[in-house]
Amino acid sequence: MSLPAYLDERRQAVETALTTCIPDAPPVIVDAMRYSLLGGGKRLRPVLALSACEAVQRREGPDAWAMAMPVACAVEMIHTYSLIHDDLPAMDDDSLRRGRPTSHVVHGEGMAILAGDGLQAEAFALLAREPVSDDPRIAVRKLAALQTMAEAAGAAGMVGGQALDLAADPKHARPQQAPPAPVMDAQALADMHARKTGALIRASVIAGAIMGGATDPALAALDRYAREIGLAFQIVDDILDVEGASADLGKTAGKDAASGKPTYVGLYGLDRSRELAAGCLHRAEAALADAPLDGARLAGIARWIVDRRT
Amino acid sequence: MSLPAYLDERRQAVETALTTCIPDAPPVIVDAMRYSLLGGGKRLRPVLALSACEAVQRREGPDAWAMAMPVACAVEMIHTYSLIHDDLPAMDDDSLRRGRPTSHVVHGEGMAILAGDGLQAEAFALLAREPVSDDPRIAVRKLAALQTMAEAAGAAGMVGGQALDLAADPKHARPQQAPPAPVMDAQALADMHARKTGALIRASVIAGAIMGGATDPALAALDRYAREIGLAFQIVDDILDVEGASADLGKTAGKDAASGKPTYVGLYGLDRSRELAAGCLHRAEAALADAPLDGARLAGIARWIVDRRT
């Protein structure tokens, strides 16, 4: 099977599974949660969770990825909630996401905040509930995967990265914060992105692998792989923000550069940024090469992340 | 030990435990999370978690409540995040909470949103991580407690209740919502509060009892108890909103009535509302009476909820 067909098969399985992830609840909140969760997207993180599970099990297909499907859905729910909150007027103030009006434009700011809050809670409810099993060994795996996801979503991970991003934005200076935030250097930019974007990408891979029964050496290799592709993803995002068109991206292009936000392209220029992304890809492939798993698909996904145009 | 001394002992243990619940992370987000989490409050929900654990174990003290302390801290983290978001300008727009300026007044709206998001994620990380144990039976209990908490915090529970509350508020009409929301009748008001406030109070009791090793009959009795005290808590809140002074409450008194929000006092009047709260207390005591647990302290807490002045 070609990589595009492989990705499509998993994306479609994820789309189907996501439709069952919102519980029976008041329609006003269900509608807002579904609007954003089922509004398209690359579904990169859920595919990574399924592929990591397949890689450690050394087999492909629904039987192999079934254990990781709750992780796949939960990571997309957490990612979606973070986009809803990130787009709010008090944060990035964006009106276009995945080619459609953002949540607060459609549902109002208050309901958008609640839709994000609800998606986060339901992500963890799903991880605690599924896969349904009486086997205590599966319970141990589920707890480990859930802890990985929650810590990645929390203050040391995604939320911490967004806080650093926000604090570095002059227009969001805190009321009681006297001096303006210092401009980020390369190290601060890398740390911010490792948290904001990298932590959840890493958690997708690690939690998917844990559900597949990964050994410690496999997890160590996947940890190195995931950190490299997380960084590559952000570098390419910055490149596309400069090169891309809003219609292709499904979000407002050129916005980061225009707002004066720190970016890899801003720090290093386009050519050096492309070299940095290629270096990440090289190290990601090397991490997989000697690992006790079948890393061919994960290597393909790494190349796709670097080569993507949207 | 008197009930006030019993409550104080548990509150102090919770305060101490809460100081360790925020991970090592960027100071800008840690500061915002700690400001709200360690800013006082009745700590009713964590005390309920500890007391439910003690009740099913039929013994009191730190050894008995140790299993439930992560639940106690996590429920307070979830409650605190919900207060931060509820106070935002896009929601209730309140500037005073627990006697201090609200999070967004001090840290800005964006950072307040992130502080709430981070507290929710860290609550689930804590529940997955602690109590640390290699025993698969403890893993099963932790998953069950976590699922109870996440479902209570989610779209069918707390977030759903807040969405119903928001949708019923004329000043928060959604952009694409043509007709104004209908005024809530008694049943809609009860449903809204059962979700918004009741679900998390119930989860405190149930998750604490699960960590203590509760049997199914004990959980069934505690479920009835918790639903009654959750309703009583809200009725008394509405009474205090009319009768109380802002200085005692630590939040703006009379605000719900002034804003035209539906309340028990508005629907039933003060005298009938007091009778309704007394009825809840009676049924909560009855639920405990025949249950296979030591319910004396939980009954005392129920009375305290109904008799409280703040």
DSSP string computed for B86-147: HTSTTTT--SEETTEE-HHHHH-HHHHHHHHHHHHHHHHHHHHH-S----HHHHHHHHHHHH
Asked if A176 has any chain B CB less than 8 Å from its own CB, the reply is: yes
**Which range marks the domain in which residue B281 is found?**
3-170+183-307
Q: Over the stretch A265-300, which tens digit does the pLDDT of each residue have?
A: 999 999 999 999 999 999 999 999 989 999 999 999
pLDDT reported for residue A40: 85
Domain membership of residue B276 (yes or no) is yes
Please state, as a whole number, how many other Cβ atoms lie within 10 Å of the Cβ of residue B258: 10
Distance CA B159, CA A196 (A): 24
Mean pLDDT (whole number) for B117-126 = 98
Question: What's the confidence (pLDDT) of residue A181?
Answer: 59
Find chain A residues with C-beta within 8 A of B82's C-beta.
117
pLDDT digits (tens, 9 = 90+) for B6-52: 999 999 999 999 999 999 999 999 999 999 999 888 999 999 999 99
Place B185 in a pLDDT band, splitting at 50, 70 and 90.
Answer: confident
Yes or no, beta carbons of A147 and B129 under 8 Å apart: yes
Residue B176 pLDDT class (50, 70, 90 cuts): low
> How distant is the Cα of A307 from the closest Cα of chain B, in angstroms?
32
Q: B173 pLDDT exceeds 70?
A: no
State residue B186's pLDDT score: 87
A34 touches chain B (CB under 8 A): no
What is the model's pLDDT at position B257? 59
Distance CA A199, CA A107 (A): 29
Within-domain flag for B65:
yes
Interchain contact, A114 vs B85, CB within 8 Å: yes
**Exposure of A242 by Cβ count < 10 A (0-12 exposed, 13-18 middle, 19+ buried)?**
middle
Binned at pLDDT 50, 70 and 90, residue A199 comes out as: very high
Average pLDDT over residues A29-48: 95
Which pLDDT does position B248 carry in this prediction? Answer: 59
Averaged pLDDT score across all residues of chain A: 92
Contact residues on chain B for A165, CB-CB shorter than 8 A = none
**Amino acid A73: pLDDT:** 98
Contact across the interface for A23 and B159, Cβ inside 8 Å = no
**A173 confidence band (pLDDT: 50, 70, 90):** low
B256 vs A179: which has the higher pLDDT: B256
Q: For residues A288 and A221, what is the distance between their CA atoms, to the nearest angstrom? A: 6
Task: Test A106 with B160 for CB contact under 8 angstroms.
Answer: no
B169 pLDDT tier (thresholds 50, 70, 90): confident
Residues A183-204: what's their mean pLDDT?
93
What is the Cα–Cα distance from A154 to B23, expressed in whole angstroms?
A: 9
What whole-number distance in Å separates Cα of residue A72 and Cα of residue A132? 15
**Is residue A259 very low, low, confident or very high in pLDDT (cuts 50, 70, 90)?**
low
Chain B interface, best mutation among A28, A75, A117, A119, by max B CB count within 10 A? A117
A74-105 tens-digit pLDDT: 999 999 999 999 999 999 999 999 889 999 99
Strand partners, A97: A100
Phi and psi based region of residue A54 (left: phi greater than 0; alpha: psi -120 to 50; beta: remaining): alpha
Evaluate the CA torsion angle A219, A220, A226, A227 in order and state its sign: positive
CATH code of the domain containing A85:
1.10.600.10
Contact between B120 and B78 (Cβ < 8 Å): yes
Residue A41's pLDDT band, with cuts at 50, 70 and 90, is confident
Asked if B15 is an interface residue toward chain A (Cβ–Cβ < 8 A), one would say no
Residue B255 belongs to a domain:
yes
- Do the beta carbons of residue A145 and residue A72 sit within 8 Å? no
Q: Which residue has the tokens 């949103």?
A: B113
| Digit-coded pLDDT (tens) for A220-256 | 999 999 999 999 999 999 999 888 755 555 666 566 6
Q: How far is A145 from chain B (nearest CA, A)?
A: 9
**Tokens 């008090």 correspond to what residue?**
A90
A151 to chain B, any CB pair closer than 8 A? The answer is yes
Q: How far apart are CA B105 and CA B117, in angstroms?
A: 17
Model pLDDT, residue A98: 84
- Phi, psi (degrees; rounded to nearest 5) at A168: -85, -5
Residue B307 pLDDT level (bands cut at 50, 70, 90):
very high
**What per-residue confidence (pLDDT) applies to A248?**
59
> What pLDDT shows up at residue A186?
87
**Average pLDDT of span B257-276:** 86
- Give the pLDDT confidence of B222-255 residue by residue, as tens digits: 999 999 999 999 999 999 988 875 555 566 656 6
- Contact call for B113 and A129, based on CB within 8 A: no
pLDDT of residue B168: 87
Residue B181 sits at the chain A interface (C-beta within 8 Å): no
> Could you report the predicted ipTM of this complex, rounded to two decimals?
0.94
Measured distance between the N- and C-terminal CA atoms of chain A, rounded to whole angstroms? 23
Looking at every residue in chain B, the average pLDDT score rounds to 92
> Which residue from B113, B136, B158 is facing A136, i.e. has the nearest CB?
B136
CA torsion, points A156, A256, A39, A67, in degrees to nearest 10? -30
Give tens-digit pLDDT for B132-160.
Answer: 998 999 999 999 999 999 999 999 999 99
Q: With contact defined as beta carbons under 8 Å apart, do B237 and B265 qualify?
A: no
Instruction: Report the percent of chain A where pLDDT is more than 70.
Output: 91
User: Which of 85-104 (B) contact A at CB < 8 A?
Assistant: 85, 88, 90-91
Q: What is the DSSP letter of A102?
A: -
Please indicate if any CB of chain A lies within 8 Å of the CB of B125: yes
Could you tell me how many residues make up chain A?
310
Q: At what angle do helices A44-57 and A69-86 cross, to 10 degrees?
A: 160
Using left for φ > 0, alpha for ψ between -120 and 50, and beta otherwise, residue A40 falls in left
Retrieve residue A165's tokens. 């991003």
Listed in sequence order, the DSSP H helices in chain B are 3-18, 27-37, 44-57, 62-65, 69-86, 103-107, 109-129, 136-153, 158-167, 186-193, 199-211, 216-243, 246-249, 255-258, 264-268, 270-289, 296-307
Q: How many domains are there within chain A? A: 1
Interface contact B138, partner A, CB < 8 A:
no
Q: Does A143 touch chain B (CB under 8 A)?
A: yes
Neighbour tally for B209: CB within 10 Å: 32
Give the minimum alpha-carbon distance from A93 to chain B in angstroms, rounded to a whole number.
10
Question: Given an 8 Å threshold on Cβ–Cβ distance, is A90 in contact with B109?
Answer: yes
- Note whether residue B88 is domain-resident: yes
**Cβ contact, residue pair B146, A151, below 8 Å:** no
Asked if B79 reaches chain A (Cβ–Cβ under 8 Å), the answer is no
Q: What is the pLDDT at residue B251?
A: 60
Nearest to B128 among A106, A121, A150 (CB): A150
Our CA-based measurement puts residue A131 at a distance from the nearest CA of chain B, in whole angstroms, of: 12
CA angle B71, B75, B76 (to 5 degrees): 120
